[in-house]
Amino acid sequence: MRGNIWETKWLTVSITLTLTAVSISAYVLKRKWNHLNSKIEELEASLKSFSDNCASERQGRIRAQQALRKEVTQSQPNSQKLNLTSYPMMPIGVVHSCFSTRNGTPRQPLLVPLARACLVFNTTRVPPASLEGLEEYSHCWILYVFHLNTDLDKLWKHPSKSGFKAKVRVPRLKGGRKGVFATRSPHRPCPIGLTVAKVEAVQGNMILLSGVDLVDGTPVLDIKPYLPYCDNIQEATVPNWLMEDNLLSVASVSFSEHFTSALKNIWIMVNGCTPSVLTV
Count of residues in the chain: 280
Sign of CA dihedral 145, 146, 152, 158: negative
Q: pLDDT per residue over 167-187, tens digit each?
A: 888 877 887 888 989 888 888
Residue pair 180/187 in contact by the 8 Å Cβ criterion:
yes
pLDDT at 74 over 70: no
The whole-angstrom separation of Cα 52 and Cα 112 is: 56
Mean pLDDT check: name the lowest of 120-124, 203-207, 233-237, 273-277: 273-277
Model confidence at 258: pLDDT above 60: yes
The 10s digit of each residue's pLDDT in 85-108 is 667 789 999 999 988 888 888 877
Quote the CA–CA distance of 185 and 162 in Å, as a whole number: 16
Assign 54 to helix, strand or coil.
helix
Q: What is the mean pLDDT of residues 191-216?
A: 94
* Nearby residues of 274 by Cβ (< 8 Å), 6 or more positions away: 264, 267, 268
pLDDT of res. 275? 56
- Characterize the bridge pairing of strands 177-179 and 206-210: unpaired
Mean pLDDT of 62-88: 64
Which residues does 6 contact at the CB level (< 8 Å), separation at least 6?
none
CA 136 to each of CA 153, 198, 200, 202: distance values in angstroms, whole numbers, following the listed order: 39, 11, 10, 10
On the CB side of 115, how many CA atoms lie within 13 Å of its CA? 24
Report the C-alpha gap between 214 and 106 in whole angstroms: 8
Q: Is residue 148 scored above 70 in pLDDT?
A: yes
Confidence check: pLDDT of 141 > 70: yes
Q: What percent of the chain clears pLDDT 90, i.e. is strictly above it?
A: 27
Cα(124)–Cα(188) distance, integer angstroms: 30
Mean pLDDT value across the chain: 81
Amino acid letter for position 65: Q
Instruction: Give the CA diameter of the chain.
Output: 128
| Residue 1 predicted with pLDDT over 60 | no
C-beta of residue 109 within 8 angstroms of C-beta of residue 182:
no
**What's the pLDDT score for residue 140?**
96
Q: What is the mean pLDDT of residues 42-54?
A: 86
